[in-house]
A and B are shown apart, each in its own frame.
Chain A
Amino acid sequence: MFEELLLILPMMIVPMGAFVLMLLSKTFSLDRLNLVAVFFLSLSFIIEIPRFGETTVRYSFPDIFGKMYIIDDFSTLFDLMFTAGAILTLLINTAYFKSRDYFSGEYFALILFSVFGMMTLAHANELVTAFISLEIASLSIYALVGYHKNNKISSEAMMKYMILGSMTGAFFILGTAFIYGVVGSTNMGDIAAYINAPVDKDLTLILVGGTFIMVTILFKMGAVPFHSWVVDVYHGAPFPVTMFMASTFKIALFAIALRLFLIDFASVKAFWSEILQAITILTLIGGSFLAITQNSIKRMLAGSSIVHSGYMLIALSSIGVGSEMAAPAIMFYLISYFLSAVGAFGILSFIASDSKKMMTYEDFKGFSERRPYLSVMMAIFMLSLSGFPSTIGFLGKFYIFTSAIESGQILLAGLGIATAFISVYYYFKLIAMMYFYPSSDKQERFPFEFSTVLIGVMAVMVIWGGVGTSLIPFIPGANGLIDIAKQAIESLQTVL
């Protein structure tokens, strides 16, 4: 009993923190609420760390809940990323919260609730649980997107996201119903067992249901036929929220997608391979078009986040067709994208906290003279996002493209490289803006700020993840991270 409670402890700490925050929201100042939120998240984070690598798969309260809540290295790794993402979002944006008057205590509670939703999503071994978790996370995010109540753009983004998101959410539950109708269970292991059972059966409804579920996931990822919300929502949301969505929420969707494709639908995946390929191609091309035409950095990053989903979709469609590295490649790419996106958005919101500017490319002219360190970091994140070697982003792309080639998807890999080339343009444009133009006001002294230190750490990690050797123990570099990714995926596959 106690041990089973201990298993779900890290996940339970987070909503508890959210409740505490709601109770305190009227009495505490924003700064202290922020710290309280960070405290609960860090507690959860610290409890999770030693858990990674235990390799055993466990279920919490299997007698009561069946096997719907799974604890394995895969979910632990995702938990770590979610909590880390939330902690970084909160800490980097301390200045931003103070600079805008519309933030209130509930904001932090909402962030914690959505982290809770994502965590349960990573642990969900059952479709209804997955749906509920997805909705918990999404609902909190809808509210967060529209947090600037009096701002038309923010409200518009919220409406757009909520209506479309709820509608596609319905697809998920419909697909679950179809699958339940055939299998008689929504447990992932049972579905897989049903599909794999060597008896004569009709899989049509499972395929239809699976397609519906895929629609939801692809929508939330921002894959191209379902992408129309991405740029507007990212643009309308307050910076910290955009940062949270782009870096953390995006990862959560791959948690469920990987679990579904590696366990549930592993044996019928071939049915979707062409659909998936078509979507991948559309996502890569469409995302590039969206990103290349933007003038605002926030919108450009939103567009480019679609392209990054596209890269991961390349690997997703390579899973199970010849490359055992495809799934770890996605995990690695998630880590690499997480680090670079948190850093890039972090810098943007840090700058936005002391100016009300729109942040277009033009605004970055001469940035290297105003803030030399920040611009070096920004350049590092841009290089990593564009997949320039010696950053973690390059290795992420390396793993994805080699696994795609390995599984015979040479065209996809080629297209991926072509879009990576296009991305060089819009990422380098920002570097060019920062470094090519002189600035009128040079700054010599910089106040010590905790957020910049954090961003600096992220930048070092981006580089270390790209070149880091295994010579220094305990700090996973380029080599260690892929091992971690592999371990997580292996733990996922031991279920079957």
Chain B
Amino acid sequence: MDPILSYIIFLPMFTVLLLGMVRASLPALRLGAVLSSVLVFVLVMAVSVDFDPDGGMQFIRILPWIAHYGITYYVGVDALSLVLLILIAFLMPLLYVYMWKERRKGYWYNMMLLQTGVTGAVLSFDVILFYLFWETMLLPIFIMIGRYGNGMHQFNAMKIVLMTVLGSMSMLFAIFYLGYRFFEHNGWWSFALSDLSTLQLDPQTSIWLTGGFLLAFAIKIPLLGFHTWMAPAYGSAPTPAVVILSAIMAKLGVYGLWRFGYGLFEETLSYYAPVIMTLAIIGLLYYAVHAIMEQNLRRMFAYSSGSHLSLIALGIFLVNIYAWGGSLYFIATHALSSAGIFIMIGLLYKRARSVTIDDLGGIASVAPRFAFFFLFFALSIAGLPGTGGFVAELLIIIGAFKVHFWIGVLTATTMLSSMLYIFWMLQRTMFGPVRTSTQDFVDLNGREMAMLIPIMMLLLITGIVPSLFIPLFEPYLNSALQDVMMTIGAK
């Protein structure tokens, strides 16, 4: 019964409350935000040092919440959560460094609230608690896009909220029904994931309920057909929000699919598997083609992110150790590289006041340091060997080939297509003639380098020595996979 996870979740929120009450001045606010995020990072490091890879779920804390319905405050961490937890804790301080000169206070408040929301969603093992965090993390994003965004930001903020809420409402309905079935079966209420997963449902109901959950995750990921919020939202959102959107929140869709999809509906998912795999494969290519055509860098990487998340979703549905390992690894490395590239785009926008490819060019000759980092992150998105993304994509592709030859072939196209748009984009922005907007391009300063180097280092380490990290979650994956195999096999 260690409360350390609760500290990790609620520290940023309490900082917000405290600072908001006293109407803290900007420097105090900045200091508070940075301190809270660093403290959270230290705590997360403490958790990951104590974490036992073979120990399943750890640091569990269960407190009664709504007794009559058996809803509890149930937090814990296992390998899957830990990966995301470390990512969030690692990225937040760096984002604050990025935001250092930001003068609008609401920005800081919202970022801290966002951290509580996403961390809570990753750590909750009670479905209602998960839903609570899943919804609350939307609010800061809503306000950040609507308030500090650009373009049609008000409209796009409303769009992302309505679409995501539509998904979560369908999930909520499924949660209610699931809880009720559990009550009907056992005579007592519970919404804990571990309890609900013991429930046996008839196939028809199960298909409906799985659909309810899947809709929420499909919109969040977003799978093809549920993606119309993605490009506008990424295009309008301010940089820190985009980083969180692509690096963390989109991953949470995959996380939900994994945790709750496979936690609750192992059997039924095979019913949906062909549909989702088809959507993911088409999405993979469709988004890549979109990315090739896109002129706006933010939107381009939005599509690229969609393409890679489809790959991760596909990997999950391939159900073998290579694909699963690759997917989990890709969650981490893609989060890092997309955080890196979106920060670079943010810096680019600050300097050139434009993220349209036609306005840019020749940056490498004006600002070599900037160009170096930009190239590195862009290539890490494309899966450059030596970065973590390469290892992960390779694992997923191997997994795909294990399942079916043609699935493998189609999956492998991501690497090709991403090379295509990345290199073409680099050629037009970093090289070529210098344009008016890039004439006085200022190179990176020390603060910006300090924020980018950790991400780069981590990407390199994950790419060169993956054996350092894989043991952390391999036992978890093996046991989870065995569970799934047993249920599907038993059927």
Contact = CB atoms under 8 A, between A and B. Distances in A.
A318 to B, nearest CB: 12
Interface in A451-496: 469-471, 478-479, 482-483, 486
A413 interface: yes
Contacts of A483: 68
Contact-residue size bin, chain B (C-beta under 8 Å from the other chain): 35 or more
Contacts of B162: 424-425, 428
B158 A432 contact: yes
25 contacts: A368-B106, A388-B135, A389-B128, A389-B135, A395-B66, A401-B173, A402-B176, A405-B177, A405-B180, A406-B180, A406-B183, A413-B173, A417-B169, A424-B165, A429-B158, A432-B142, A432-B158, A436-B146, A436-B154, A437-B154, A469-B63, A478-B65, A478-B66, A479-B67, A482-B66
A161 interface: no
B147 A469 contact: no
B136 interface: yes
A479 B147 contact: no
Given A389-B131, A417-B170, A435-B106, 16 more contacts: A325-B68, A398-B69, A410-B177, A414-B173, A421-B166, A421-B169, A424-B162, A428-B161, A432-B157, A435-B143, A435-B146, A436-B157, A437-B154, A469-B64, A469-B65, A471-B63
A482 B68 contact: yes
A420 B64 contact: no
Contact of A402 (B67, B69, B143, B158): B69
B172 A428 contact: no
Most buried by B among A376, A420, A479, A482: A479
Contacts of B67: 470, 479
B220 interface: no
Contact of B132 (A368, A390, A482): A390
Interface in A382-411: 383, 388-390, 394-395, 398, 401-402, 405-406, 410
A436 B64 CA distance: 38
Nearest to A438: B147
Given A401-B176, A414-B173, A482-B68, A428 B132 contact: no
B201 to A, nearest CB: 14
Contacts of A470: 64, 67
Interface string B47-70: 000000000000000011111110
A405 B176 contact: yes
Interface of B: 20, 63-69, 73, 106, 128, 131-132, 135-136, 139, 142-143, 146-147, 153-154, 157-158, 161-162, 165-166, 169-170, 172-173, 176-177, 179-180, 183
Contacts of B135: 388-390
Contact-residue size bin, chain A (C-beta under 8 Å from the other chain): 35 or more
B173 A428 contact: no
Nearest to A328: B68
B157 A402 contact: no
B176 A398 contact: yes
Nearest to A486: B68
| Top 9 closest pairs, chain A to chain B, by CB | A389-B132, A436-B146, A421-B169, A405-B180, A389-B135, A436-B154, A417-B173, A424-B165, A435-B143
A389 B135 CA distance: 7
A138 B166 CA distance: 39
A469 B73 contact: yes
A297 B428 CA distance: 50
A432 B173 contact: no
Contacts of B161: 424, 428
Contacts of A421: 165-166, 169
A394 B69 CA distance: 14
A402 B180 contact: yes
Contact of A390 (B136, B147, B154, B166): B136
Contacts of A428: 142, 158, 161-162
A437 B157 CA distance: 13
Most buried by A among B143, B166, B179: B143
Contact of B147 (A395, A418, A436): A436
A383 B165 CA distance: 13
Nearest to B161: A428
A428 B143 CA distance: 10
A469 B177 CA distance: 24
A436 B153 contact: yes
B2 to A, nearest CB: 17
A420 B135 CA distance: 14
A46 to B, nearest CB: 29
Please report whether the interface of chain B is mostly helix, strand, loop or mixed according to DSSP. helix
Contacts of A394: 132
Contacts of A478: 65-66
A475 to B, nearest CB: 15
A81 B169 CA distance: 31
Interface in A241-277: none
Contacts of B183: 406
Most buried by B among A390, A395, A398, A483: A398
Contacts of B170: 417
B64 A402 contact: no
Contacts of B166: 421
B154 A432 contact: yes
A148 B154 CA distance: 38
Nearest to A408: B180
A69 to B, nearest CB: 32
Nearest to A403: B180
B136 A389 contact: yes
A369 to B, nearest CB: 9
A469 B63 CA distance: 9
Contacts of B20: 376
B432 to A, nearest CB: 38
Interface string A161-191: 0000000000000000000000000000000
A389 B173 CA distance: 14
A463 to B, nearest CB: 11
Contacts of A390: 132, 135-136
Contacts of B153: 436
Most buried by A among B73, B131, B165, B180: B180
Nearest to B67: A479
Contacts of A486: 68
Contacts of B68: 325, 479, 482-483, 486
Contacts of A431: 142-143
B65 A435 contact: no
A373 B460 CA distance: 46
Contacts of A398: 69, 128, 176
Contacts of A479: 64-68
A237 to B, nearest CB: 31
A471 to B, nearest CB: 8
Contacts of A429: 158
A420 to B, nearest CB: 7
A420 B169 CA distance: 8
B3 to A, nearest CB: 12
Interface in A412-450: 413-414, 417-418, 420-421, 424-425, 428-429, 431-432, 435-437
A437 B135 CA distance: 23
A424 B154 CA distance: 15
A325 B154 CA distance: 41
Nearest to B135: A389
A152 to B, nearest CB: 36
Nearest to B164: A424
A473 to B, nearest CB: 14
A483 B422 CA distance: 59
Nearest to A386: B165
Contacts of A482: 66, 68
Contacts of A388: 135-136, 139
A27 B161 CA distance: 55
A437 B132 CA distance: 27
B127 to A, nearest CB: 12
A417 B66 contact: no
Most buried by A among B63, B157, B176: B176
Contacts of A437: 154
A395 to B, nearest CB: 7
